[in-house]
Amino acid sequence: MGRLFQLLLRNGGFVTLVFVELFCFVLMVQYNSTQSVIWANTTEIFGGKVLERRQTVSDYFGLREQVDSLNQIVDSLQSRLSNARLVQVSVQDTFYQVNYDSLTLNDSIRRKTIRPLYEFVSAKVVGNSITSVNNWLIINRGSNDHVAPHMAVISPNGVVGVVRHVSENFSIAMSVLHRQTRITASLPKQNTFGSLMWEGGNPHVMTLKDISKHFQEQIHPGDPVLTSGYSTMFPKGISVGTIITKPEPDPENPHFLVVKVQLSQDMSNVDAVSIVRNLFSGELDSLKSQIKQ
């Protein structure tokens, strides 16, 4: 202990200088927006690269499990592809329906007949949190891969989050386990929908609200919950989870119901994801802005 005090006495000026500079740096970053943005981008780039290297090593030792998972994904995609080859499209100025093979449509016809049209960017999660009130993910795709804010992030198992910040090679997504996350989710059996949010606590369970009280007797534990397609971010029919509780009146609004939903994607084990790009999002956002005006 005596040697420690002697060391502090000999180097007290230097230690004091270091602490003062750190304190000034924190104040500068916290109370100056420009420096705050520079610091956030810098830590995002370096932190993302470190996490990506660590994830690469982890992936190498888990190749067997990844191969098994990819085989299951391929089987699932082949099944979905065989069911989705034929799409029905309304012929302009008629009441008839015409069947098209969705795999043979060229881009010009595809854009006119299938709306909205999504593109998917394969990515990996290199950073993730589930223990905070507001949780985030770091993904190894950025503006160089045409990723932009407000794009949905999904996995083979279900919804994951929404992209909020983007650099050239990385992006930060707001996890579904974030207090500001709102996803319009549907109950396909009941043909209704509600607003999905996380109220904290259990990272495997979210709350579905704003369901009409009319459906109280029709909703049961085990019913599937999917994305509704009413958002420009998430395609319709992406798995969200299953209902695990009976519907109860919303304490904030007795005319609506709330239910608990078990997430289909374990947020503590997110790896391979897809970033969803809606090719018509700009057009749709423009129309929505006119409504607000």
What is the residue extent of each domain of the chain?
A: 2-58, 119-281
Whole-angstrom Cα distance, residue 169 to residue 61?
24
HSE of 124 in the Cβ direction (CA atoms, 13 Å)?
12
Q: Distance between CA 233 and CA 153 in Å, rounded?
A: 9
For the entire predicted model, the pTM comes to 0.64
pLDDT tens profile 131-144: 888 899 999 999 99
Q: For the residues 222-229, what does the mean pLDDT come to?
A: 91
pLDDT-wise least confident of 25-29, 126-130, 166-170: 25-29
Query: What is the model's pLDDT at position 118?
Result: 78
Residue 91 has pLDDT above 90, yes or no: no
Check whether 288 has a pLDDT greater than 50: yes
The band of 40, judged by pLDDT with boundaries at 50, 70 and 90, is low
Indicate the CATH number of 119-281 among 3.40.50.360, 3.40.1160.10, 2.40.370.10, 2.40.10.340.
2.40.10.340
Tokens of 8: 């502090």
Separation of alpha carbons 230 and 83, rounded Å: 23
**Residue 161 pLDDT more than 90?**
yes
Instruction: Tell me whether residue 151 is exposed, middle or buried, using C-beta atoms within 10 angstroms of its C-beta: 0 to 12, 13 to 18, 19 or more.
Output: buried
